[in-house]
Structure 1
Amino acid sequence: MYLSRGVAPTLSGTRIELQPIAADHASALFEIWTHPAVAPWLDTPPLASVRDAEQLITLLLQMGKEEESLRWSITLPDGEIIGSCGYNQWQLPGAYRGEIGCELSPSCWGQGYMREALGLVLDFGFGTMGLNRIEALCHPGNIRAHGLFKALNFSQEGLLRQYRHTASGFQDVSLYALLRNEK
Structure 2
Amino acid sequence: MYVCGGVIPELSGRNVRLRAMAAADAPALLGIWSHSEVAPWLDGPPLSSVEDAEALIALLTEWAAEEESLRWSILGPDGVVIGSCGYNHWQLEGAYRGEIGFELSPAVMRRGYMREALELMLEFGFRSMGLNRIEAICIPDNLRAQRLLAGLGFRQEGLLRQYRHTASGYQDVQMYSLLQGEAGAGRRT
TM-score (norm 1): 0.97
**What's the counterpart of residue 22 of structure 1?**
22
Q: Which amino acid in the other structure matches residue 87 of structure 1? A: Y
Q: Which amino acid in the other structure matches residue 172 of structure 1? A: D
Secondary structure in 2 matching 1:121 = helix
Q: Which amino acid in the other structure matches residue 56 of structure 1? A: L
**What's the counterpart of residue 83 of structure 2?**
83
* Residues 68, 90 of structure 1: 8 Å contact kept: yes
The 5 A counterparts of 1:101-140 are 101-140=101-140
Measured after TM superposition, the shift of residue 2 of structure 1 is 3.6
The 5 A counterparts of 1:4-153 are 5-153=5-153
Measured after TM superposition, the shift of residue 181 of structure 1 is 1.0
Identity among equivalent positions (%) equals: 64
**What's the counterpart of residue 163 of structure 2?**
163
Gap regions ≥5 residues in structure 1 = none
The 5 A counterparts of 1:170-181 are 170-181=170-181
Q: Supply the distance in 2 between the matched residues of 1:49 and 1:86 (Cα, whole angstroms).
A: 22
Measured after TM superposition, the shift of residue 41 of structure 1 is 0.3
Query: After the TM superposition, which parts of structure 1 deviate over 2 Å for at least 4 consecutive aligned residues?
Result: none
Q: Supply the distance in 2 between the matched residues of 1:99 and 1:7 (Cα, whole angstroms).
A: 19
* Residues 159, 173 of structure 1: 8 Å contact kept: yes
Q: In the TM superposition, what whole-angstrom CA distance separates every residue of 1:71-110 from its partner, at most 9, and x where no partner exists?
A: 0000023221000000000000010000000000001111
Measured after TM superposition, the shift of residue 48 of structure 1 is 1.2
Number of equivalences = 182
Secondary structure in 1 matching 2:181 = helix
Measured after TM superposition, the shift of residue 15 of structure 1 is 0.5
Secondary structure in 2 matching 1:68 = coil
Q: Supply the distance in 1 between the matched residues of 2:170 and 2:103 (Cα, whole angstroms).
A: 21
Q: In the TM superposition, what whole-angstrom CA distance separates every residue of 1:130-150 from its partner, at most 9, and x where no partner exists?
A: 000000001000000000000
Q: In the TM superposition, what whole-angstrom CA distance separates every residue of 1:155-182 from its partner, at most 9, and x where no partner exists?
A: 0000000001000000000000000011
Please tell me the root mean square deviation across aligned C-alpha atoms, in Å.
Answer: 0.8
Q: Supply the distance in 2 between the matched residues of 1:63 and 1:29 (Cα, whole angstroms).
A: 18
Q: Supply the distance in 1 between the matched residues of 2:161 and 2:111 (Cα, whole angstroms).
A: 32
Q: Supply the distance in 2 between the matched residues of 1:117 and 1:171 (Cα, whole angstroms).
A: 27
Measured after TM superposition, the shift of residue 21 of structure 1 is 1.1
